[in-house]
Structure 1
């Protein structure tokens, strides 16, 4: 049974050409509508099962916050429906539920009651809330004297003082310091492992991959993707690049059976990629083997500069290593139309841990593919690292290491 069921959800705001048109519509209720409906979200449908962790991603203005506000009941939908089973704890906006002139202590009880907790329950858990927030004597000072990070500390502590059935977090943790973010993510993971359903909005790919087992991409108010976090985030990268330059997004089926996203304006294109061990093409190497990655390129327009990059990811889609010719100081200058060239990345020892990996390649100008993206080929090839002659180890990296004993 779904804990959250969203069906054909849409939200529209009224847009009036003038103040007079607004007044006429108010005072002449039987007349013709004098506004235009501005849809910020439409046709969104999905189910979330109990205990599932779902990341909501998308550009600013994509409808992420609107979606969460409708689910929590703070905003009404224009069409569609939301069915929720269980108690919700939500952290939607900085300071939401806090009064700036009340002390932190008073706001704990006020915000806690808005979440449905009794005064007796809040008194029972107050010491835990205060200890987790770690704001010291400021607990008895007005909230208007708090920094944004202190407000997040207290708001998160109140929202998570008692494990909810559903936890909704909307980017608020991004303003907290690194220490509290780490502490908060640990609590979120604890709740998730205990069966709490999680809806998490973030612009951090690492946070979404770490906390969530599913991701939903909203683009201009429409649900563009719903699937595994690494695949949805790959498509999101293509959406970001699309905003910078006109391009096509092509989905190709990679050898691994997963969707491979390719995007770019085709000013230069990748014709072929290869992984070599010695002089032989290879897709399985031992830990520490020397390898080379070759990229064959065709130039379709005159270019002042061309950067080639590669990115290695593990089987979960987490970034392991990436660099490009810009950072290596070897980018090409002044390329001409119809020119063909090859770039080769060499590593004397591929010190990756045992497992499966993918390699993505990009052609662009400057230091990043977001601007002037010519060709970005995600998961262009997949390879496997098998054990070598060294000691057994776990993890994504294999570090040369020795150990010895001595008396103390």
Structure 2
């Protein structure tokens, strides 16, 4: 049995000529609205115990509306949500908090609404206060809290008791870096203990590090449901898409989906990693000096051309990225028919593992302006440790250690 099931869910906001007609609709009497705006429609998916799902999409795609219906704070216009377990949610900042009550009083109120008794709340109060780390403000009215302090208290009470399903909206984005790290570490602990996660974020980092599945919403409908790296690549392509650009998804020999988007004035051709003797290699030693060789074919006149690249780990998180705009090597007035060869030298100071390259051809420091081509999984390669001592992590940062007083 699924832990959470969403069946043909939809939400419409309707306007009526009078409030009497709106009330008549509640009792299923015939009452036609004068306006009807659907923010979410025909959304269906199920979540199994222990899964971690990321919900992504542009502003207005319906992400927050979906989470509110999943948690029961908003009633759907059609469809239904079935939950077989306890849900804890962090939605809009301070949602459900009374600004005139103290943090401690709001914790008692919020935990009570979550279904916990006074004795359970009292036992957990010290831990909630300690995790929030807002000091004496815990006994001050919430109306004097900063947004970050509200988020600390909201997260602390929502996660004081491990839920079956944890739902997190963008609220965590307002916190300081220290508390964000602390919060995500608690989420990771819950994941190890079997909690199911449903999270909304514009940041691909949390989605790809925490989730094993992602759902992309566009204009209130699901347009992609799959592995986080593939979904985030497709989402990135949608953001960059202009009127005359296209998005193409290609299945590679290794089974992965490559997303390519852009207007096509310039495209990447051959791409390879070259060693010092000029040989193409797919396995690179930790710290080895290599050359990334990228061929670019220009199909139309381009006033200004920028090449960017990024190295991603197996989860799709960017380990390093830069471009010729940042390096002050932009090309101007590039003629149609030009064939350009970029050679980029660097030491492969990465930890052992599988990596991929993404490339971007644009006109500035961002592919959101004149996206000629964005290509994910342009090249896949492996880093192996042949001659270095064993180390942990994703970067080779070899230290010199000095000890005084020994």
Shorter-chain TM-score above 0.5: yes
> What is the CA deviation profile of residues 149-171 of structure 1, one whole-angstrom value per residue up to 9, with x for unaligned ones?
11111111111111111111111
1:329 is matched with which residue?
Answer: 328
2:74 is matched with which residue?
Answer: 75
2:92 is matched with which residue?
Answer: 93
Answer yes or no: is the 8 Å Cα contact 2:54–2:214 preserved in 1: yes
> What is the CA deviation profile of residues 103-137 of structure 1, one whole-angstrom value per residue up to 9, with x for unaligned ones?
22221111111111122221221111111111122
Answer yes or no: is the 8 Å Cα contact 2:14–2:33 preserved in 1: no
Distance in 2 (CA, whole Å) between partners of 1:22 and 1:162 is 45
Are residues 1:306 and 2:320 paired?
no
Q: What SS class does the counterpart of residue 390 from structure 2 fall into?
A: coil
C-alpha change, 1:341 and 1:22, in structure 2 (3 Å) is farther
Question: Which residue of 359, 373, 376 maps to 1:375?
Answer: 373
CA positional deviation for 1:387: 2.4
Distance in 2 (CA, whole Å) between partners of 1:49 and 1:43 is 20
CA positional deviation for 1:310: 0.9
2:254 is matched with which residue?
Answer: 256
C-alpha change, 1:188 and 1:26, in structure 2 (3 Å) is closer
Of 25-34 and 53-62, the range deviating more from structure 2: 25-34
> What is the CA deviation profile of residues 284-317 of structure 1, one whole-angstrom value per residue up to 9, with x for unaligned ones?
2222322222222222332221100111111221
Alignment length (residue pairs):
402
Normalised TM-score (structure 1): 0.93
**Within 5 Å, which residues of 2 pair with 1:144-155?**
144-155=143-154
1:57 is matched with which residue?
Answer: 56
C-alpha change, 1:387 and 1:23, in structure 2 (3 Å) is closer
Answer yes or no: is the 8 Å Cα contact 2:323–2:365 preserved in 1: yes
2:10 is matched with which residue?
Answer: 10
Normalised TM-score (structure 2): 0.93
Are residues 1:290 and 2:289 paired?
yes
Distance in 1 (CA, whole Å) between partners of 2:22 and 2:371 is 49
> What is the CA deviation profile of residues 138-185 of structure 1, one whole-angstrom value per residue up to 9, with x for unaligned ones?
122211111111111111111111111111111111111111111111
Distance in 2 (CA, whole Å) between partners of 1:124 and 1:392 is 45
Answer yes or no: is the 8 Å Cα contact 2:22–2:31 preserved in 1: no
Taking only aligned residues, the RMSD between alpha carbons, in angstroms, comes to 2.0
Distance in 1 (CA, whole Å) between partners of 2:220 and 2:262 is 23
2:394 is matched with which residue?
Answer: 396
C-alpha change, 1:31 and 1:201, in structure 2 (3 Å) is closer
Extract structure 1 runs of 4+ deviating beyond 4 A: 22-32, 402-407
1:109 is matched with which residue?
Answer: 108
